[in-house]
Amino acid sequence: MKITELPLKGAYTIDLEIQEDNRGFFARYFCKKEFEKKGLCTNWVQINTSFSQKKGTFRGLHYQYPPMAEVKVVRCLRGAIWDVIVDMRANSPTYGEWYGKNLNEENRTMIYVPKGFAHGFQTLTDNVEQLYLHSEFYSPDHEGGLRHDDPALKILCPLPISEISIQDQNHPLLAQLIPIMV
């Protein structure tokens, strides 16, 4: 696997190094040794999936506050998404900056989302399924959200939003939130 740091310190893309033959291919999603070499999380306590039916659906931007702040690894298994992360770490030089990347069933790229980042995505196709690794258990008492359309962030979704939950529409703006201490 190829692990590449993104412009937001601590966030990475993970690309598979595929070994092909006449049967198909083989690749590793995770290698504890390679993650440890980069100082990345290797303890996964939940593996979740999501399915979105309609192209243009937006989910997020979600995170958890300490002590339940979590690392996520996200991969699109079916269809295509535009994945976005926002640095919400209090002392980070990239606080309030975001990064977006297309993830799909063809490129098989994953995003490593560190603690202190909000995460969301927009579906680029119908019938999208994703896989998430989480370093902490879901905790409703520690969940947080950030508005995707915050004018201060200037996040540019690739498509008009066709579906979004009431909860995600009503998340606060970045200026209304306390930065995350991780």
For 44-176, the fitting CATH number among 3.30.420.40, 3.40.50.970, 2.60.120.10, 2.10.240.10 is 2.60.120.10
Instruction: Please state, in angstroms and as integers, the Cα–Cα distance from residue 51 to each residue in 13, 54, 161, following that order.
Output: 22, 10, 16
**Is residue 131's pLDDT more than 90?**
yes
Q: How far, CA to CA in Å, does 80 sit from each of 4, 31, 89?
A: 21, 25, 28
* Residues contacting residue 58 through CB under 8 Å, at least 6 positions apart: 120, 121, 122, 123, 148, 157, 161, 163, 164, 168
The model's confidence at residue 132, banded by pLDDT at 50, 70 and 90, is very high
The answer to whether 17 and 1 have CB atoms below 8 angstroms apart is yes
Residues 6+ apart with CB under 8 A from 120: 58, 59, 60, 61, 62, 83, 84, 148, 168
What is the model's pTM? 0.94
10: closest CA among 96, 111, 78, 108?
111
The 10s digit of each residue's pLDDT in 72-130 is 999 999 999 999 999 999 999 999 999 999 999 999 999 999 999 999 999 999 999 99
Pick the catalytic residue: 12, 62, 99, 112?
62
Is 62 assigned a catalytic role?
yes
> What's the full length of the chain, in residues?
182
- Find, among 77, 75, 74, the residue nearest to 105 by Cα: 77
Provide the mean pLDDT of the chain. Answer: 96
Catalytic hit among 132, 134, 148, 171: 132
Contact 182, 66 (CB under 8 A): yes
Q: Domain map of the chain by residue range?
A: 44-176
> Is 132 known to be catalytic?
yes
